Chain A
Amino acid sequence: MTNPFRHASTFLLAALTTAWIAGAFLALVCAGLVYQRITASSNDPWKSPQLLELKAQLQDAPRDEGIKSRIRDLDLKFRQRYVRRLVMGRSGGWLLLGGSIVFIAALWTVAEARRRPPLPQPDHDAGARALRHAAASRRAVGVTAGALGIGLVAIAFGLHSALDDPALAPMTAAAGVTTAPRAGPPLPPHSEFLANWPRFRGPLGGGAASSGEAPLKWDGKTGTGIVWKAPVPAPGFNSPIVWGERVFISGATAEKREIFCYDAATGQLRWQRAIEKVPGSPAESPPISEETGYAAPTMATDGRHAYAIFAHGDLAAVTFDGDVAWSKHLGVPHNPYGHATSLAIWDGKLLVQLDQGEGRPHNSRLIAIDGGTGRVLWEKPRSMASSWATPIVIETAGSPQIVTLGVPFVIGYALADGRELWRAERLDGEITPSPIFAGGRLLVIHPDNKMMAFKPEGTGDITESPLDWKAEDNIPDITSPVSNGELVFTVTSRGIVTCFDLADGKTLWEKDLQTEAHPSPVIAGNRLYVTCTNGTTIVAAAGREYQELARNELGEKVFASAAIVRGRMYVRGLKNLYCLGPATKPASP
């Protein structure tokens, strides 16, 4: 007679052994998959620097069969390794599944074999306990049903689908919003906006200072008329903007993008903030022309945040204390010279004109963003290739509209919702001079060709509407015009200053400075300031006859346009930022 307990013991031992083997197998497969996962990124065949190096060498020696052979061997090796990894990944999943089934079955068998059936015991309280459980179960079901009902009612009336809400759609679609939208800080009054220099060429984008006061004379060598001078730590062709006691500029290289805030009174660098880790931003910088650089667009501010955009497509908002409020990546602009269109701002709405594409449009668009939260308010596609002019916001018939330039159209958009109001086909070439609005007329420039004045009236295509006038002498190619409401002044990059009558466009005078001028001219009161690239600024009377009032040397090259606020002028040189005006304190560092 056989011993049944002996068989049971052998069965338990076999199950235990199987469980151990299956467990070890699972651990081994898991370790293999984890190792493969960790090394996956370094084994990407398309990231091999060795392969790229060999391909570069082949460019130099196209007949070298040795290099070709090494490329083929390396390519074969990488692809075999890649396919092997894929196969291992798939097989590993099946092996894990199979191993897990065996492991669980073995453990279950062991547990069953070890289980001892419980002996029944008398339970005198069973009846009362069953009644208590039944009552508790009824209460639990009731409470759960009630909570479920309240929850469903709350969901039905309290939530809305983001997919169906057109106002939220752009927000969810926008790339790289780093922070959830929340109420931003309150917007300062519009009078404060107009009293500062919050964007490229002043609050209205026309280059005219709101106060009539501005310095007349200064000298970079002796320091006369220079309130302070502060070094600029990073390169950039953008112009300074000013709000209250703060002056902002940005700077960038291929590796780093930064915003700098200076004290307007002393020139002390209050803080500098690097813009980094923006989701979606490319690891490698796109190639940008040195003449444009990575920080050509001028910043903007609405008194709550300061905003900056870089040639990489990164857009950021920083608080006045230097903390990043929000940032997002708008895609690397496809621009032959690099993105240089400055930011525009009006009533807390940040406007980004992102024209791009070489020869033909490539995802060009105009975007309006709520400055406080970073939420995209609206976005309009534009059928235009790259341009470099900065949009302006004008008030007509009580409603603000945005005026943009891009080949071949001048377009007016409603600020509120981005609706296109009108368009006129009047441009060609590489559009760099920005439009201005003076005396009820828009002045736009077809570079090196003509300046046109017309009223932004009508709807739809207004190409056939007559122009008020056009001028064809000494038309700029880079700089923007400036007006005092009676006269218009332009400067060509070769240094010819011309005065036109705003009423009929007739040329009143012209003056050849015989030196290059890339900064746009500015006006304060009855003075015209024309800054040349070599750092010389000619102060002339903004009148019907040419009269030179002063000629000032800064002693440093200047490419950016000046900002004039409360009688002081802020000029960015290649190496230093200057504050010019009546000396109240000795020049800082």
Chain B
Amino acid sequence: MNEPRREPVSRRQFLRHGVRLAAIAGVGGLVGALAGRTRAETTVWQIDPAKCLHCSNCATHCVLEQSAVKCVHAYAMCGYCQLCTGYFEPEPNELTTAAENQLCPTAAIKRSFVEDPYYEYTIDEQLCIGCAKCVEGCSRFGNGSLFLQVRHDRCLNCNECAIAVVCPGDAFRRVPVSHPYRLKTDH
């Protein structure tokens, strides 16, 4: 038994099918794009540096043993001071890296010489516990370049953030995951 012969596709039919297919694909893509845009964006917790009161609750109230809140440094704002009030105790004994002079309880701030009389300060996040002692010192007497941020490589993004519940400055906010940090850019 012979198979029925399939009718050849004319050029006009081919073009018609092609245009129809392109139109369906375009409408589908548009619907998909619109659906994607209308979906609520995921949010994460973050600290508003303008509201932070440097109260040390971040170090003690996070559900993680070592808090997900860390000190970060806005180098553009830093004065690179020799007598850094975020690094040294008030009225330091000497301007050296000895333990009795350092404000940070875990020595998480590294001090390196740039040129006389400038020094660069970097944060070792492995050691930082988010106690905000340096932030208080830098904000009270310095340029305010040290501030606290929730680090999202550590944060569990709890529904109810244990630090936000007790934050006296109301500094914790839900922010879009596409802009997860609130960085300081000026004083």
| A and B co-occur in one complex | yes
A45–B105 CB distance below 8 A: yes
Write the chain A residue with the least CB distance to B89. A55
A331–B89 CB distance below 8 A: no
Task: List chain A residues, Cβ under 8 A from B131.
Answer: 46
Task: List chain B residues, Cβ under 8 A from A173.
Answer: 170, 172-173
A363-B165 CB under 8 A given contacts A79-B106, A280-B57:
no
Task: List chain A residues, Cβ under 8 A from B91.
Answer: 59
Mark the stretch among A70-78, A222-230, A439-447, A491-499 that contacts chain B.
Answer: A70-78
The yes or no answer to A332 lying at the interface (CB within 8 A) is: yes
Rounded to whole Å, the gap between the CB of B77 and the closest CB of chain A is: 16
Please, what's the 1-or-0 string for B104-145, where 1 marks a CB less than 8 Å from any CB in chain A?
Answer: 011100000000000000000001010101000000000000
A68–B167 CB distance below 8 A: no
A46–B99 CB distance below 8 A: no
Write the chain A residue with the least CB distance to B56. A46
Rounded to whole Å, the gap between the CB of B95 and the closest CB of chain A is: 13
Task: List chain B residues, Cβ under 8 A from A163.
Answer: 43, 174
Bound complex: CA of A37 vs CA of B107, how far in Å?
A: 22
A280-B166 CB under 8 A given contacts A59-B91, A331-B53:
yes
The yes or no answer to B3 lying at the interface (CB within 8 A) is: no
The yes or no answer to B28 lying at the interface (CB within 8 A) is: no
The yes or no answer to A231 lying at the interface (CB within 8 A) is: no
A58–B53 CB distance below 8 A: no
Rounded to whole Å, the gap between the CB of B177 and the closest CB of chain A is: 13
The yes or no answer to A148 lying at the interface (CB within 8 A) is: no
A280–B129 CB distance below 8 A: no
The yes or no answer to A24 lying at the interface (CB within 8 A) is: no
The yes or no answer to A408 lying at the interface (CB within 8 A) is: no
A332-B168 CB under 8 A given contacts A58-B93, A82-B106:
yes
The yes or no answer to A518 lying at the interface (CB within 8 A) is: no
Write the chain B residue with the least CB distance to A64. B93
Rounded to whole Å, the gap between the CB of B172 and the closest CB of chain A is: 8
A86-B66 CB under 8 A given contacts A55-B89, A282-B55:
yes
Bound complex: CA of A173 vs CA of B164, how far in Å?
A: 8
B170–A331 CB distance below 8 A: yes
A332-B129 CB under 8 A given contacts A79-B107, A279-B166:
no
Bound complex: CA of A493 vs CA of B151, how far in Å?
A: 53
A-facing residues in B28-75 (Cβ within 8 Å) = 40, 43, 50-51, 53, 55, 57, 59-60, 65-66
Bound complex: CA of A363 vs CA of B169, how far in Å?
A: 8
A329-B168 CB under 8 A given contacts A79-B106, A82-B106, A89-B65:
yes
Task: List chain B residues, Cβ under 8 A from A76.
Answer: 99
CB-contact partner of B168 in A75, A86, A330, under 8 A: A330
The yes or no answer to B98 lying at the interface (CB within 8 A) is: yes
Rounded to whole Å, the gap between the CB of A75 and the closest CB of chain B is: 4
Bound complex: CA of A83 vs CA of B65, how far in Å?
A: 12
A363-B51 CB under 8 A given contacts A173-B170, A331-B169, A332-B168:
yes
Task: List chain B residues, Cβ under 8 A from A37.
Answer: 65
Bound complex: CA of A470 vs CA of B129, how far in Å?
A: 56
The yes or no answer to A322 lying at the interface (CB within 8 A) is: no
The yes or no answer to A136 lying at the interface (CB within 8 A) is: no
Bound complex: CA of A73 vs CA of B100, how far in Å?
A: 10
Bound complex: CA of A76 vs CA of B98, how far in Å?
A: 11
B168–A175 CB distance below 8 A: yes
A72-B65 CB under 8 A given contacts A280-B167, A363-B51:
no
B65–A40 CB distance below 8 A: yes
CB-contact partner of B106 in A45, A59, A176, A281, under 8 A: A45
A46–B174 CB distance below 8 A: no
Rounded to whole Å, the gap between the CB of A89 and the closest CB of chain B is: 6
Rounded to whole Å, the gap between the CB of A158 and the closest CB of chain B is: 18
Rounded to whole Å, the gap between the CB of B107 and the closest CB of chain A is: 6
CB-contact partner of A72 in B40, B43, B99, B106, under 8 A: B99
A71–B165 CB distance below 8 A: no
Rounded to whole Å, the gap between the CB of A284 and the closest CB of chain B is: 11
Task: List chain A residues, Cβ under 8 A from B53.
Answer: 331-332, 363
Write the chain B residue with the least CB distance to A329. B168
Bound complex: CA of A163 vs CA of B42, how far in Å?
A: 11
Task: List chain B residues, Cβ under 8 A from A78.
Answer: 105
B166–A175 CB distance below 8 A: yes
Bound complex: CA of A4 vs CA of B167, how far in Å?
A: 68
The yes or no answer to A583 lying at the interface (CB within 8 A) is: no
Task: List chain B residues, Cβ under 8 A from A13.
Answer: none
Bound complex: CA of A89 vs CA of B91, how far in Å?
A: 36
Rounded to whole Å, the gap between the CB of A385 and the closest CB of chain B is: 14
Rounded to whole Å, the gap between the CB of B86 and the closest CB of chain A is: 15
Task: List chain A residues, Cβ under 8 A from B168.
Answer: 175-176, 280-282, 313, 329-332
B-facing residues in A31-79 (Cβ within 8 Å) = 37, 40-41, 44-46, 54-55, 58-59, 62, 67-68, 71-72, 75-76, 78-79
Residue among B165, B168, B169 facing the most chain A CB atoms (10 A cut-off): B168
Rounded to whole Å, the gap between the CB of B168 and the closest CB of chain A is: 4
The yes or no answer to A174 lying at the interface (CB within 8 A) is: yes
Task: List chain A residues, Cβ under 8 A from B166.
Answer: 175-176, 279-280, 329
Task: List chain B residues, Cβ under 8 A from A86.
Answer: 65-66
Q: Could you list which residues of chain B lie within 8 angstroms of chain A, going by C-beta atoms?
A: 40, 43, 50-51, 53, 55, 57, 59-60, 65-66, 89, 91, 93, 98-100, 105-107, 127, 129, 131, 133, 165-170, 172-174
19 pairs, A vs B, C-beta closer than 8 Å: A55-B100, A68-B93, A71-B100, A72-B99, A75-B99, A79-B107, A82-B106, A163-B43, A163-B174, A173-B172, A173-B173, A175-B169, A279-B165, A279-B166, A280-B166, A281-B168, A282-B168, A331-B55, A363-B53
Known A279-B165, A280-B57, A313-B168; further 19 A-B contacts with Cβ < 8 A: A45-B105, A46-B129, A54-B100, A62-B93, A72-B100, A75-B100, A86-B65, A161-B40, A163-B174, A173-B170, A175-B166, A175-B168, A176-B165, A281-B168, A329-B166, A329-B168, A331-B53, A363-B50, A363-B169
Q: Could you list which residues of chain A lie within 8 angstroms of chain B, going by C-beta atoms?
A: 37, 40-41, 44-46, 54-55, 58-59, 62, 67-68, 71-72, 75-76, 78-79, 82-83, 86, 89, 161, 163, 173-176, 279-282, 313, 329-332, 363
Q: 4 closest Cβ contacts across the A-B interface?
A: A46-B105, A331-B168, A75-B99, A280-B166
